[in-house]
Amino acid sequence: MKLTAELDGAEQQIELRREGERVWARVDGRSYELSVRETEAGAYLLIDDGRVYECRVESTHAQPDAVQVHVRTQTYALTLSDPKRLRGGHGGAGGHGVDGSAQIVAPMPGKIVRVLVEVGAAVKAGDGIIVVEAMKMQNEMKAPRDGVVSEIHAASGATVNAGDILATIE
């Protein structure tokens, strides 16, 4: 999977491949091979050539694709985006349809953990709609605006690809 990460105003190109606990990453031409273990929800041990790093990841509610990553005493504000999804016309988690509807779009490949609302539910901007697990992190996809859920294209346990439309809000 190829992603663009923004850290401190600078963009980094990232390629990720994962098999079980092994992760191969290429960040702006530098290669890494890590072992990743989730110790609890949002907490990970990253093992790189015998060096162990504890990492905590928290989603920010201001931006759906933004996270805060805590490593040792440092905190990094990181925004991830999938260049393929941006070319497809979906900005952030909420793209806008031609009829003015808002769409909740999967930010990366993953699995649906929970669907938090039903069709017909009234939602406010920032309300949780669907929880997607990707790379052992759970991301709550939030409503980009007030409205009514008109469609849900996801079910618990289903796998999704980056850019898949998960729900529509009218």
- Condensed to tens digits (0 to 9), the pLDDT of residues 86-115 reads 433 333 344 444 345 788 888 778 899 999
Phi first, then psi, for residue 21 (nearest 5°) are -90, -5
CB-based contact 60:66 (threshold 8 Å): yes
pLDDT of residue 92: 39
Burial (0-12, 13-18, 19+ Cβ within 10 Å), 38: middle
Q: Which amino acid is at 95?
A: G
What is the distance between the alpha carbons of residues 122 and 59, in angstroms, rounded to a whole number? 23
* Tokens encoding 166: 């998960």
More confident of the two residues 78 and 149: 149
What is the set of domains in the chain, with CATH numbers? Answer: 2-81 (3.30.700.30), 91-169 (2.40.50.100)
pLDDT band at 151 (very low <50, low <70, confident <90, very high): very high
The pTM of the full predicted model, rounded to 2 decimals, is: 0.48
Please state the rounded mean pLDDT for residues 62-78: 80
Burial (0-12, 13-18, 19+ Cβ within 10 Å), 114: middle
